[in-house]
Structure 1
Amino acid sequence: MLPTELLMFRIKAGLFEPRRLKPTTNNLKLAETLIAVFGAHVGKRRADLDDELRDLEAGRSDYRVVRGLAHLLSQRGEFEAGGGLAPAAVREKVFALAQDGPPSRHRTNTVLEQAARALSTESPLHPHDVAAALYADLPDQQTLIAFEPLEPLDLIQRWDLAQAQGALYRAFQLVITARRNEPARYKQLLKYLKFFGLMVTVEGDANYGFTLTLDGPTSLFSSNTRYGLAMAKFLPALLHVTKWDLSAALKPRRDLAWVDPKDDEWSFQLTSEDGYVSHYKAPEEHDSALESGFAERFAKLETSWQLEREVDLVPVPGGVILPDFRLVHGERSVLVEIVGYWRPEYLRKKFALLKKSGRTDLIVCVSERLNLEKAGVDPGEFGDRMVWFKGVLNPKDVLALAERTAVTT
């Protein structure tokens, strides 16, 4: 992401509009040049890299674009103190030796020679090596030891997304309307919500879409932007959801002279049609062989029931769950959850959430290999809405139960 000083945006009638870069020939050429500069400086000091970047942006009206692109590229580089000497140990030795006499150029050379002898292990050190290692751990003296390049278009897309993420630094509420989506997209969404510590309230259904409201404790709505930063990191995951709208409420920046002091709140609007590109890995279609095997066997059946994967978000107190499948027959439907993982704590948590959901249109499929009683789970709580299976889950068994438990939507 980008630091606040490199964010470029305008406010129009209270709407936050981040700057975007068009993939023009000039912009692509700039991105290509910057990528080449970083590649050419592998093995060199950060100070040398910074000098060339300053030369590149000199006299340009779009110098902040240059700095932003360079900042994103620096995040793909690995910097470390050069040489085989630990700078802290070198400083300790040099400063201790320097205390033995008054400072002078001759004395400095003598101290460096003494330190080189004292620090030598397998091979002799030169005083220049000691001098170079003294402050090699300072940021501008570190060496770029590795760099993972991007294609020019990818860098421009990353810059665009970073500008949009920057809008969320000051967000104190995020409302997402997510409609019917491709399989596995909701699951990745929930995974990243949990990973970034975001609290969500879910309303709606799979037919008309879900509204996810993200906010946090009042203690986080102070001058710091920790929660907004978490929302910003979450945005690339949202881009993998295929159909959605986002509305964010932002705290206005008071440090900018051109900001209307009467603004109490800014609004940032985004949709899945805006063309931003995620750099997060796309989710797999299935989480497990059990799920994929069940779907493959179901596809071979001659039935009027339709199998949909991961299209329902089910609210529960303090969270949300995402059943593996939904079976639909006309206006009737039933949810299907497959439980094949054996760890006791997982089973306890899984069944506790299923119970909290209060859903009676939920079939739970459980492997006979699992010892629910040992895990502290009472299977009787789900009555006749459970299907036990050995080895593979037979879709005919699930369909037979679906006929009895499906509800009209």
Structure 2
Amino acid sequence: MLPTELLMFKVKAGIVEPRLLKPNPTHTALIARLIELFETSVGKRRFELSEELKTLEEGRRDYRVVRGLAHILAGDHSTFATGGVLSPPLVRARLFELSQAHPPARFRRQDLLEQVGRSLGADPQEVADALYADLPDQQTLVSFEAPDPQILLDRYNLAQAQGLLYRAYSLIITARRNEPARYRQLISYVKFFGLMVTVEGDSDYGFTLTLDGPTSLFGGTTRYGLSLAKFLPALLHVTEWDLSAALKPRKDLAWIDPTDTEWSFQLTSEDGYVSHYPPPKEFDSALESGFADRFAKLKSPWTLEREVDLVPIPGGVIIPDFRLLHEDGRSVLLEIVGYWRPDYLTKKFDRLKKSGRMDIIVAISERLNLEKAGIKLDAFSEQVISFKGVLDPKRVLELAEVLAVQPTERAKKKRIKGKLQ
């Protein structure tokens, strides 16, 4: 991500828009020059690279673009290391001991370097080079992996959007039906970054995710915004969404309207941002992929979809594995429970009970010892299919005919609000 001083944006009527780079000849040439500069700087120290960058910036109006691209190249594509074989802290400690023991009038700097060198088995120049070698500007660029220019351009534009979220204190996402793996990745990042999400809505009107942070995060807007900024690349893997963020205005810029009390930052899945987070796997397990393969070989009026509904429940959210859609409009959700720990199963079935949904089929492997785990299926036994080894899609379709509901019936279902921590 980019530091605040490198962000470029405009504000109009309280709406913030980042200034994004386009793949035009000017930017393409600049990226090529920067990549060449980093490649020729391998083996040099960071301060030498910085001097080269300052020379490149001279006379340019877009110096912040140069610094922003260089910031990403240095952070994501470069490896810096402390040069030499001597430990800088040890060298400093030895020099300090000698300088304290001998007055400066009697010992020259060269004498100190020679004595420390003899004690460490090194020559004076190696001692001098190691003295501050662990400071950032003295570290050596040991390797550089040049990115594709378009990848660097995409990363820079996303970093601009992430940078604006530094000042966010409220984030609302409206998401449509999606692949379960992508929703699971989204929720995983919410937990990983210490956020909480309240989920409400249904597939007919869309799902609204309101992101909050623990009380400790609200001590500083920037810390909360940093978590939201890191979360954004995960959201990009969801195919259809709209985002609205409330930002705290900056007051340190002369061109900012001092009467602004809040800024709004709007994003959608159509804005063209590209995530650098790895995409989730299409299937979470061999059970799911095997079931999908067998289902595809059937001739049936039912279609198996990977795009599913989020099922908000009090205290959480359910993300089914599949959705079965009949050509007459009826549908049913499918959750496959394979090999999991007893505590996970307990939470899984507790959530299914809380959902109150009768259009969810639960396929459970017989290898799971539910009785030993203390799990009773009485509450939704009519929705359960047990299987051994592989899940037969024909059995699933038989139960689907019984449980599936029409779209109008789904629309009438009570809209549930669930909060996941």
TM-score (norm 1): 0.94
What is the SS of the residue equivalent to 1:184? Answer: helix
Structure 1 residues 129 and 288, CA gap change in structure 2 (3 angstroms) = same
Q: Amino acid of the residue matched to residue 362 of structure 2?
A: V
The match for 2:402 among 398, 401, 404 is 404
Q: 2: distance between equivalents of 1:404 and 1:75? A: 56
Q: 2: distance between equivalents of 1:39 and 1:319? A: 49
Aligned partners of 1:210 and 1:313 also within 8 Å? yes
Aligned partners of 2:170 and 2:247 also within 8 Å? yes
What is the SS of the residue equivalent to 1:264? Answer: coil
Q: C-alpha displacement at 1:252, in angstroms?
A: 0.9
Q: Does residue 82 of structure 1 match 2:87?
A: no
| Stretch of structure 1 that moved more, 181-190 or 110-119 | 181-190
Q: Amino acid of the residue matched to residue 141 of structure 2?
A: L
Superimposed CA distance per residue, residues 105-148 of structure 1 (whole angstroms, 9 cap, x where no aligned partner): 9522121111111112xxxx111101111111111111112222
Q: 1: distance between equivalents of 2:214 and 2:178? A: 30
Q: Does residue 5 of structure 1 match 2:2?
A: no
Task: Report the number of matched residues.
Answer: 405
Q: C-alpha displacement at 1:227, in angstroms?
A: 1.6
Residue in 2 aligned with 1:298?
295
Q: 2: distance between equivalents of 1:14 and 1:58? A: 34
Residue in 2 aligned with 1:331?
329
What is the SS of the residue equivalent to 1:162? Answer: helix
What is the SS of the residue equivalent to 1:33? Answer: helix
Residue in 1 aligned with 2:21?
21
Structure 1 residues 103 and 393, CA gap change in structure 2 (3 angstroms) = same
List gaps (5 residues or longer) in structure 1: none
TM-score (norm 2): 0.91
| Identical-residue share of aligned pairs (%) | 67
Q: C-alpha displacement at 1:3, in angstroms?
A: 0.6
Superimposed CA distance per residue, residues 216-266 of structure 1 (whole angstroms, 9 cap, x where no aligned partner): 356534543112111111111211222221111111112222221211111
Q: C-alpha displacement at 1:31, in angstroms?
A: 0.8
List gaps (5 residues or longer) in structure 2: 408-421
What is the SS of the residue equivalent to 1:328? Answer: strand
What is the SS of the residue equivalent to 2:221? Answer: coil
Q: Does residue 39 of structure 1 match 2:36?
A: no
Aligned partners of 2:243 and 2:268 also within 8 Å? yes
Q: After superposition, where does 1:3-402 map in structure 2 within 5 Å?
A: 3-76=3-76, 77-103=78-104, 107-120=108-121, 125-182=122-179, 184-217=181-214, 220-329=217-326, 330-402=328-400
Q: Amino acid of the residue matched to residue 396 of structure 1?
A: K
Alpha-carbon RMSD across the aligned residues, in angstroms, is 1.8
Superimposed CA distance per residue, residues 272-291 of structure 1 (whole angstroms, 9 cap, x where no aligned partner): 11111111112221111100
Aligned partners of 2:8 and 2:18 also within 8 Å? yes
Q: C-alpha displacement at 1:188, in angstroms?
A: 2.4
Aligned partners of 1:184 and 1:310 also within 8 Å? no
Q: Amino acid of the residue matched to residue 383 of structure 1?
A: S
Q: C-alpha displacement at 1:41, in angstroms?
A: 1.6
Q: Amino acid of the residue matched to residue 320 of structure 2?
A: P
Superimposed CA distance per residue, residues 335-389 of structure 1 (whole angstroms, 9 cap, x where no aligned partner): 1110112322322232232233232221111111111232332233322211110
Q: 2: distance between equivalents of 1:321 and 1:36? A: 49
Q: 2: distance between equivalents of 1:99 and 1:64? A: 46
What is the SS of the residue equivalent to 1:146? Answer: strand
Aligned partners of 1:310 and 1:322 also within 8 Å? no
Aligned partners of 1:46 and 1:143 also within 8 Å? yes
Q: Amino acid of the residue matched to residue 92 of structure 1?
A: A
Q: Amino acid of the residue matched to residue 200 of structure 1?
A: V
